[in-house]
Structure 1
C-alpha cells in the first residue's frame, strides 16, 4: 500500500488561534473594512458621530464635574485631564462591547465557512481603534494649544496605555464573545460592566480622592486595574505636560503596580485564547 504524505493537511476547524490572524491578514482587512463602512451606513452625519458622541460626553461631564462640583478648580487644565480619560474609556467600552457581540453578529459566516474565529473579536477591536483615532487627534490638538510638548516618557506612556486597553479589550472580548454564543446573558453582563467603566478609573475625579479613603493594599489593587493604569498613563502623556507646578502629580505607586497591569493584560490574552478555543468547536451548532 502506498504511503500518503499527510504533513500538509490540517484537522478541519482547528488552527493556531491568535497566530492565524497574521496568516489571514487579507480577511482581517476585509472584516475591518466591512465594520467601518457599515457602522454609519444610512446615517446623514456618518463619521461625524465619531466626534459628536465623545464631545457630548465631555460637555456633560465637564459641566457636572468641573463646574457644579468644582473639580476644575482643583485640577489645572481639567478639560484635558477629563478628555484624556474619556477617549480611553470610550475605546475600551466600544472595543470590549463589540468584541463580545462579534461572533453572534457574524453568525452567517461562522455557520457557512471555516476561518479563524479569533478574527471577529480582533477585527471588532481594530474598528473601535479607528474610531478612537479621531478623538485622539482632538485631544492632541487641544493639548498642543495648552502648551503640550512631546517627550519620550510621554509618548511611551501613551503607547503603553493604548496597548493595555487594546489587549484587555481583545482578551476579555474573546472570553465573553465565546460565552455569548451559548449564554446570551454574557452580553447583558458586559453592558452592566461597561456602565461602571467610567467610574472605575480616575477619569471624572483624581486618584488622590481614592487614596484618601482606601487602605493601601486596596488602593494598589485599584491602581493595578489596567483601565486605571492606562488612564493615568494618558494623563502623564497628555495632561501633565500642559501643567506647570501642579499640586496633583501621578501617583508614585503607579510605577510599582504597572508591571502587574501589563502582566494582567497579557494574561487576559492567554486566558481569552484558552476559553475561546474551548467553546469555538460548538459555535456553529449553538448559533
Structure 2
C-alpha cells in the first residue's frame, strides 16, 4: 500500500485573495497595460491629441493670471507672479486629475471587474499614474519658463519638488481608493469629489499668498491651514521652482519642513484608511456594477 503525502500548495494562492497595494507591484504587466490603455485612449480621436496636455493648462493659467493677477492685483508684492501661480496650479491639477480618475476607475473598468479576477487596486493606481504622465508636460513648460527667469536648480529645491509630488500622489491614491470604492455603490461620490476639488483649489495658496491667510485667522487656524497636505505640497513646489527666481519679496511659510512632514504623515494615514475601506467593499464590486 503506497503512502500518500500531502500536496505542496505553497506556490498557490487562494483565488480572489488580494494583498492590497502590494499586489500592484506583483502584477506589473497588468499595471503597464492599464497605464498604456489610459494614456493612449485619453485623446483618441481628437485632432490635437497630446497637444491638449499643453493647451488646457495654458488656457487655465491665462484666465487665472488675467483675473487674479492683473484685474484683482494679487500679483503685487509677489515677484515673478506667473511662475508662482503656475507652479502651484500644476500641483493642484495633478491632485485633481489623479483623485478624479481614481474615483471613477472601478466604474470605468466595469467589464474587467465583472469578468475576471485581478487586484482591484490596480485600477486606481494606474489612474493616478496616468494623471502623473499627463502632468509631466506641464512640468516641462514650467522648467523652461523658470530657466528663462533665472532659476538655479539646487538639491534642496529638487528635494522639495519630489516631496511635494510624493504628498500629492499619496493623498490622491488614498482618497481615490476610499471614494472609488464608495462610488461603485453610490454614484453621488463623484459629485462629492468635485466639491472637494473645488475647495482644494481655494484652500491652498495657489491664487494668493499664504500671508493673506496668516493676517486674517488666529494662529491655531493658520497652523491647521499649513498642516493641510495640499498646502504643504503647493508651498514645496513654490520652494522648488519659484523661490530661487525672486528677491525674497514673499518669504516661505514658517516651519515649512515640519509641516511638510506632517502633511506627508496625514497623506499616509489617509492612504491606510482608503486601503482598509477599499478592501472591505471590494467583494461587492461585481454585483453593484
Shorter-chain TM-score: what band?
over 0.9
Distance, in Å, in 2 between the alignment partners of 1:139 and 1:130 is 15
- Partner of 1:282: helix, strand, or coil? helix
1:225 equivalent in structure 2 = 228
State whether structure 2 residue 213 is matched by structure 1 residue 201.
no
State whether structure 2 residue 145 is matched by structure 1 residue 142.
yes
1:46 equivalent in structure 2 = 49
By how many angstroms is 1:173 displaced? 0.3
Per-residue CA distance 1:127-169 (angstroms, 9 max, x = gap): 0001100000000110000000111110000000000000000
1:272 equivalent in structure 2 = 274
Distance, in Å, in 2 between the alignment partners of 1:72 and 1:247 is 11
2:258 equivalent in structure 1 = 256
- Partner of 2:7: helix, strand, or coil? coil
1:131 equivalent in structure 2 = 134
2:118 equivalent in structure 1 = 115
- Could you tell me which runs of 5 or more consecutive residues in structure 2 were left unpaired when the two chains were aligned: none
- Please give the residue correspondences for 1:1-287 in structure 2 after superposition, counting only pairs within 5 Å: 2-244=5-247, 246-287=248-289
- The answer as to whether partners of 1:220 and 1:253 remain within 8 angstroms in 2 is no
Distance, in Å, in 1 between the alignment partners of 2:270 and 2:94 is 17
Distance, in Å, in 2 between the alignment partners of 1:252 and 1:191 is 31
Per-residue CA distance 1:49-99 (angstroms, 9 max, x = gap): 111111111000100111111111221000000000111111000000000
Distance, in Å, in 2 between the alignment partners of 1:94 and 1:115 is 24
- Could you tell me which runs of 5 or more consecutive residues in structure 1 were left unpaired when the two chains were aligned: none
By how many angstroms is 1:253 displaced? 3.1
Query: How large is the Cα RMSD of the aligned pairs?
Result: 1.0
TM superposition score normalised by structure 2: 0.97
Per-residue CA distance 1:11-49 (angstroms, 9 max, x = gap): 221121111111111110100000011000110011111
TM superposition score normalised by structure 1: 0.97
Distance, in Å, in 1 between the alignment partners of 2:59 and 2:270 is 32
Distance, in Å, in 2 between the alignment partners of 1:248 and 1:4 is 69
Distance, in Å, in 1 between the alignment partners of 2:25 and 2:9 is 24
- The answer as to whether partners of 2:233 and 2:260 remain within 8 angstroms in 1 is no
- Runs (4+) of structure 1 moved beyond 3 Å? none
By how many angstroms is 1:260 displaced? 1.2
By how many angstroms is 1:2 displaced? 4.8
Distance, in Å, in 2 between the alignment partners of 1:219 and 1:254 is 13
